[in-house]
Amino acid sequence: MGLVLFFAFTASSFAADTLAQPSHTFLSPLGPIAEHQRDHFFRVIAWTSIAILPVFLFTPIILIRYRRSARATYRPHSAYNPKLEVFIWGVPIVIVIALAAQLWTATHRLDPYKPLPGDPVCVQAVGLDWKWLFIFPNEGIATVGELVVPVGRPVAMELTTDTVMQSFRISALAGQIYAMPGMRTALHFKASEEGETRGENTQYNGDGFPEQRFPVRAVPKADWLDWVQAVRESDLSLTDATYARIGIRGDLSTTGKAIGSETDGPIHLSAPSPDLFGRIMARYHTGAALDPSHQPGSDTYDPERSQLPEEPMVMHGAGAAGCGPMEHADHG
């Protein structure tokens, strides 16, 4: 009964997922990482089912056959059966060995720190309450509330936050990774087809948490270059003062108003300072205590007083513009 319900609901969620456009989970992937994750997901279900099907099959049989009123064979002292014992230990052991081998391969293959082959687009994601700031250091642009990536080129993303811990996920493209203040994590993914999906923060960070979503568009390379050009021509530039105001708690429209954006939609910013990401991380490594009024995300945050340090954090293993190869759990 339970299994039926489970599959019914899973199936219904698939149906709902396929019907709901645009697609936005790894079950309808837009890129190779999410696709492998989906395949692995179904493989694990299949293998594990071998171990749990006997429970579904034999429990009803035993309960009916050996119900008291049936007066079937009764062995009150039977407490051990060597042949059964082989099955009882054998089945789970064999399945776990099979699953473990696949787990090992899949985990290494889908390691979010592993760069994908090709010339990557570098994106630096900064978690704020309650939006993400995306900096494209090589293109000299930044966005809030929108991520546009070219189809066919890998994306090398490095992440941090300038408030509490958050978790970044674009389900249809890649799994999630935490973003932590003063630290840097990495995520590599690639869109292999055009489409629109969405990304979000999945780690609760206060009242506006459910608002922290953004559309993700995977577009052909030429269109992407056009988009980059359009963003570069934006009137708003990502100065330190603008960044400080983006740090005020609030959703996209609040942020737009705070920095004088004319639309309610995604915010396009030009000319981010090249080492902004490193300086955001450096905020937590100055050797001085950080007053709450300088801390984005706190109740008393004051963008006029908050200042980023001059010098970016020195990061080992990173290329000049960031997004180079990274070590795990990099503290900078």
Partner 1 sequence: MADALFGRLSVDSLAVLHVFEDATINNMVDSGAAGLVIVGSVAAILVLKVFRLWTPLFRDWLFSVDHKRIGVMYMALALVMLARGVIEGVVMRWNQSAALGGGPLDPDHFGQLFSTHGTIMIFFVAMPFIFGLMNFVVPLQIGARDMAFPVLNQISLALTATGAALLMISLVVGEFTTGGWTAYPPYTGAVFSPGVGPDYWIWAILLSGVGSTLTGLNFAVTIYKERAPGMTLMRMPLFCWTALVTSILVVFALPPLTAAAALQALDRYLDFHFFTNDLGGNMMVYANLFWMFGHPEVYILILPAFGVYSEISATFAAKRLYGYETLVGATLCIAVISFMVWVHHFFTMGQSATINAAFGIATLLIAIPTGVKIYDWMATLNLGRIRMTVPIVYMTGFFFLFVIGGLSGIMLANPSIDFQVHNSLFLVGHFHNVIIPGVLFGILAAIHYWFPKVFGFRLHEGLGKLAAVLWIVGFSVTFFPLYGLGLMGMPRRSASFQDPSYEPLMQVAFYGSLIILLALTTVVLTIVVSIVYRRHLATPLGDPWDGRTLEWWTSAPPPPWNFAVRPQVTGVDAFAAAKERGDVYAPLDHYEPITMPAKTSIGFVVLVTTTLLGFAMVWWLWWLAIVALALLVGAIVVGSFYPPTEITIPADDVAREDRKWRESARQDRGVTRDEEISALNHGRAAPDMVAAE
Partner 2 sequence: MTMQLYPGLNLGEAHGPDHAKSETFVFGFWVFLMSDLVLFGMLFGTYVVMRDATAGGPGPKELFDLGSVALQTAALLLSSLTCGMASLALKYDHVSDAPVPPRSLGRWLALTFFFGAVFLALEIRDFVEMFAAGSPPMRSAWMSSFTALVGLHGLHITVGLIWILVLINQIGMQSLRGVIKQRLMVWALYWHFLDIIWIGIFSVVFLGGLL
**Shortest separation between residue 12's beta carbon and partner 1, angstroms:** 6
CB of residue 287 vs partner 2: minimum separation in angstroms? 3
Given the rule CB under 8 A, which of 5-13, 44-52, 81-89, 284-292 is the region that contacts partner 2? 284-292
Residue closer to partner 1 by CB (options 114, 305) is 114
State residue 53 phi and psi, 5-degree precision.
-60, -40
Measured from the CB atom, is 96 or 290 closer to partner 2? 290
**How far is Cα 159 from Cα 278, in angstroms, rounded to an integer?**
11
The sign one gets for the Cα dihedral 301, 304, 305, 307 is positive
Residue type, 117: P
DSSP class of residue 269? E
Residue in the block written with tokens 């052991």: 93
Residue 124 interacts with, from partner 1, partner 2, none (CB under 5-8 Å by kind):
none
Report, in Å, the least distance between residue 1 CB and partner 1.
6
Task: For residue 280, give the nearest of 96, 165, 127 by alpha carbon.
Answer: 127
Residue 289 near partner 2 by CB under 8 A: yes
Q: C-beta of 210: minimal distance to partner 1 in Å?
A: 4
How many residues are listed for the chain in this entry?
A: 332
Question: Smaller CB distance to partner 1: residue 51 or 271?
Answer: 51
Minimum CB distance to partner 2 smaller for 79 or for 288: 288
Please give the structure tokens belonging to residue 69. 């009123």
Q: Is 43 in the site for partner 2 (CB under 8 A)?
A: no
198 - beta bridge partners? Answer: 215
Considering only residues 3-22, where is the footprint of partner 2 by CB under 8 A? none
Least separation, in Å, of the C-beta of 185 and partner 1?
Answer: 4
Q: Kindly state whether residue 328 participates in binding partner 2, applying the rule CB under 8 A.
A: no
Considering only the stretches 44-52, 107-115, 205-213, 283-291, report the one whose residues sit in contact with partner 2 under the rule CB under 8 A. 283-291
Q: In this chain, which of 2, 117, 287, 317 binds partner 2, going by CB under 8 A?
A: 287
- Shortest approach of partner 2 to residue 288 CB, angstroms? 8
Angle (CA) 270-272-278 rounded to 5° is: 160
Give the full edge-to-edge strand order of the sheet including 195-201: 147-150, 213-219, 195-201, 166-170, 174-179
| Number of residues located near partner 2, criterion CB under 8 A | 5
Q: At what angle do helices 32-65 and 82-109 cross, to 10 degrees?
A: 170
Q: Pattern 239-278, binding to partner 2, x per CB under 8 A?
A: ----------------------------------------
> What is the closest distance, in whole angstroms, from the C-beta atom of residue 197 to partner 2 in the complex?
38
CB of 55 to partner 1, least distance (A): 5
- Applying CB under 8 A, among 286, 320, 325, 327 the residue interacting with partner 2 is 286
Of the candidates 38, 29, 231, 54, the one whose C-alpha atom is nearest the C-alpha of residue 148 is 231
> Quick one: tokens of 262?
């004319």
d(CA 289, CA 296): 14
Q: Which two tokens stand for residue 285?
A: 């490594």
Q: What are the phi and psi torsion angles at 258 (to 5°)?
A: -60, -30
Chain residues that interact with partner 2, rule: CB under 8 A: 285-289
